[in-house]
Amino acid sequence: MKIIKVKDYKELSNMVSEIIIKEIRKKPNLTIGFATGKSPLGAYKNLIREHKKGKVDFSRIKTFNLDEYYPINADDKKSYRAYMFNNIFNKINIKKDNINLLDGTAKNFKKECEDYEDKIKKNPIDLQIVGIGVNGHIGFNEPGSTIVSRTRLVDLASETIKRNKYLGKALTMGISTILKSKRIILLASGKEKARAVRDFIIGDIDKNIPASFLRKSKNLIVIIDKEAGSLL
Ligand code: GLP
């Protein structure tokens, strides 16, 4: 695990977008695992800006998103599908066919999850971006999730229901799914993440802190700002 400490959210976002751009230049058909939430938003803004300047071409990349609420209507603004299209996909030259999202409207959630696993197996993720929840979750792998977990339907922890203001379940890549990524970048910014960051980095590798399982990855980069790293 490589830990990079930066000053603030701006520096964190710059570092993440620079890594993504560098990797796309090396491999134009890079498969990226994207995350939602506040943590990657600054990096997405940078990617859009650099794309507008003609500095990066997304036409050959493929993407997989970590998670989605379930069930959720196709036109629900809260959906992670809406988040991705509004915050990045509609603003870069990505091909719609290369976008993979868990479908929160799928009737057969089991099949949806199995198909997603299969697709990832066929298109291994080169670079997976993940945020961390205040309770140490990654994607929607809440405390109690195991290292062998695969893409599945999960119950949300009560603090997640409160914070995300969503009363329902979710579909999420499992921890084993995420760990198959060739490289993982975990981002954390702000004081509210300090405890989760401390616990996942220096605590035991344990299902109570699902992010701790990422330490099993051979290529994990953790980028944290001063506040998120304040308890280390
Ligand atoms: C959410 C999502 C995660 C996200 C995390 C942190 O509930 N399921 O994918 O990484 O919580 O969100 P944020 O970056 O807004 O703090």
Instruction: Name the pairing type of β-strands 99-100 and 62-65.
Output: parallel
Confidence of residue 126 (pLDDT cuts 50, 70, 90): very high
Strand-pair partners of 188: 224
Lowest mean pLDDT among 12-21, 70-79, 147-156, 172-181: 70-79
Is residue 204 assigned to a domain? no
Of all residues in the chain, what percent carry a pLDDT higher than 70? Answer: 100
| CA gap 164, 17 in Å, rounded | 25
DSSP sequence for 114-163: HHHHHHHHHS--SEEEE---TTS-BTTB-TT--TT--SEEEEPPHHHHHH
Q: Is residue 106 situated within a structural domain?
A: yes
Q: What is the pLDDT of residues 29-63, one digit of tens each?
A: 999 999 999 999 999 999 999 999 999 999 999 99
| Helices 41-52, 9-26: inter-axial angle, 10-degree rounding | 50
Judge if the beta carbon of residue 135 lies within 6 A of ligand 1. no
Residue range 78-103: average pLDDT?
98
The answer to whether the CB of 37 is under 6 A from ligand 1 is yes
As a whole number, mean pLDDT of residues 191-202 equals 98
User: What's residue 149's pLDDT?
Assistant: 98
Residue 97 lies in a domain: yes
Positions marked catalytic: 67, 135, 137, 142
Going by pLDDT thresholds of 50, 70 and 90, the confidence category of residue 179 is: very high
Atom 5 (ligand 1) nearest CA: 133
Over residues 101-110, mean pLDDT:
98
Q: Does 39 sit in the ligand 1 pocket, CB within 6 Å?
A: yes
CATH of the domain at 31: 3.40.50.1360
CA distances from 178 to 47, 86, 161, 167, 230 (A): 23, 24, 23, 25, 27
Residue 122 CA, ligand 1 centroid: distance in Å: 26
Check whether 78 has a pLDDT greater than 90: yes
Whether residue 131 has its Cβ less than 6 Å from ligand 1: yes
CA of residue 163 to ligand 1 center, whole Å: 10
Cβ of residue 142 lying under 6 Å from some atom of ligand 1: no
Give, using CA atoms, the residue closest to atom 12 of ligand 1. Answer: 37
203 lines ligand 1 (CB under 6 A): no
**Ligand 1 geometric centre to CA of 173 (Å):** 13
User: 190: Cβ–Cβ under 8 A, 6 or more apart, which residues?
Assistant: 9, 225, 227, 228
- Total Cβ atoms within 10 A of residue 215: 13
77 in any annotated domain: yes
What's the CA angle centered on 121, arms 71 and 219, to 5 degrees?
Answer: 100
**Segment 212-232, tens digit of pLDDT:** 999 999 999 999 999 999 999
Asked if the structure places residue 226 within a domain, the reply is no
pLDDT exceeds 90 at position 66:
yes
Q: Which of 9, 13, 36 to mutate to test the pocket of ligand 1 (most atoms within 8 A of CB)?
A: 36
Residue 8 lies in a domain: yes
The verdict on the CB of residue 13 being under 6 Å from ligand 1 is no
63 assigned to some structural domain: yes
Q: What is the mean pLDDT of the chain?
A: 97
pTM strictly above 0.75: yes
Average pLDDT for 174-186: 98
- Please tell me the predicted confidence (pLDDT) of residue 74: 82
The amino acid at 229: G
Rounded to the nearest whole angstrom, what is the distance from the C-alpha of residue 81 to the centroid of ligand 1? 14
Atom of ligand 1 nearest to the CA of 40: 14
Please report the pLDDT score of residue 112 as a whole number. 98
**Structure confidence at residue 75 (pLDDT):** 85
- Number of independent structural domains in the chain: 1
Structural domain span for residue 99: 2-199+212-221
